[in-house]
Amino acid sequence: MKLKFLGTSHGVPAADRYCSSLMVETGGKTFIIDAGAPLIDLLLRNQKKPSDVSAIFTTHAHGDHVDGLVSFCDLASWYYKDVSVDIFVTEHALTGAIFNFLSVIHSPPDTSRLRFTRATAGVVYDTPELKVTYLPTKHLPTRPAYSILLEAEGKRVLITGDMSNHLERKDFPSIVAEEHLDLVISEMAHFGIDHLTPYLETCIADRMIITHVFPLHKFAEIEALAGKYPFPIDIAHDGDEIEL
């Protein structure tokens, strides 16, 4: 399983960071986790055709995780007619908003090729190449948000998605302390190192990578964690690749 960070910024892009998007290649197929803009541009710059993408999974319907879906769906509708993709969103309203927008600027998407599914807690995708499980987080008080567990090639990767401010209500996925994971990719825009420390102490993963970092002083704080835990903790940068 190969992972490539297309975008690692927090809610706002920066000169050297796009918003959240992760490309996963496994079993000869390509998947996208979160669709921050400019998803389709980044695919092309990474020598991928839009039609290479088998499925897109989004953790929640905040712009930094779904804005890239709009132009992806637009171009897949009228130009890249070989695209055939499963798109997992967390709210029906987002599907409706994309349909409305595309209807205004061109025409509504062909739902036989762009297949929207509203993801809910549990296994949402189970193919020989990849199994995807959605685990609820408390990031949004009244709307759904999820962590995503990927399982492929005997490896298990947890992507936390966004979580609650200060990890209130114990909002870090309990699976990190209960089950072996090859990699945990955690956000760090909504809480500090102090809030994360109790979870680092019980984490049994082989490796952790921190993304979605804000404010920027946290970079130095994360680097200072080196050697404190039995597993390495690294910071994700746009373009970083991980092979598991």
In DSSP notation, 117-141 reads: EE--SEEEEE-SS-EEEEEE--SSS
Q: What span, in angstroms and rounded, lies between the C-alpha atoms of 206 and 230?
A: 8
Q: What span, in angstroms and rounded, lies between the C-alpha atoms of 5 and 77?
A: 25
Strands of the sheet containing 208-213, edge to edge, are 122-126, 131-136, 146-152, 155-159, 183-188, 208-213, 233-235
Q: Answer yes or no whether residue 62 interacts with Zn ion by CB under 5 A.
A: yes
Q: Answer yes or no whether residue 64 interacts with Zn ion by CB under 5 A.
A: yes
Considering only residues 145 to 164 of the shown chain, the ones binding Zn ion according to CB under 5 A are 162
Site string for Zn ion, 162-191 (x = CB under 5 A): x-----------------------------
Nearer to Zn ion (CB atom), residue 64 or residue 67: 64
Question: CB of 60: closest distance to Zn ion in angstroms?
Answer: 6
In 3-state terms the chain splits into helix, strand, coil percentages (rounded to 5) of: 25, 30, 40
Q: Residue with CB nearest Zn ion?
A: 62
Nearer to Zn ion (CB atom), residue 11 or residue 192: 11
Q: Answer yes or no whether residue 34 interacts with Zn ion by CB under 5 A.
A: no
Nearer to Zn ion (CB atom), residue 25 or residue 162: 162
Q: What span, in angstroms and rounded, lies between the C-alpha atoms of 119 and 95?
A: 12
- How many CA atoms lie within 13 Å of 75's alpha carbon, on the beta-carbon side? 14
Nearer to Zn ion (CB atom), residue 89 or residue 244: 89
The DSSP secondary-structure symbol of 143 reads S
Question: CB of 5: closest distance to Zn ion in angstroms?
Answer: 14
Question: CB of 160: closest distance to Zn ion in angstroms?
Answer: 11
Nearer to Zn ion (CB atom), residue 10 or residue 48: 10
Site string for Zn ion, 3-32 (x = CB under 5 A): --------x---------------------
Query: One-letter amino acid identity for 20?
Result: S
Strand, coil or helix: 186? strand
Question: CB of 208: closest distance to Zn ion in angstroms?
Answer: 18
Strand, coil or helix: 179? coil
Nearer to Zn ion (CB atom), residue 62 or residue 156: 62
Binding residues for Zn ion, total number by CB under 5 A: 4
Interacting residue ranges for Zn ion, rule: CB under 5 A? 11, 62, 64, 162
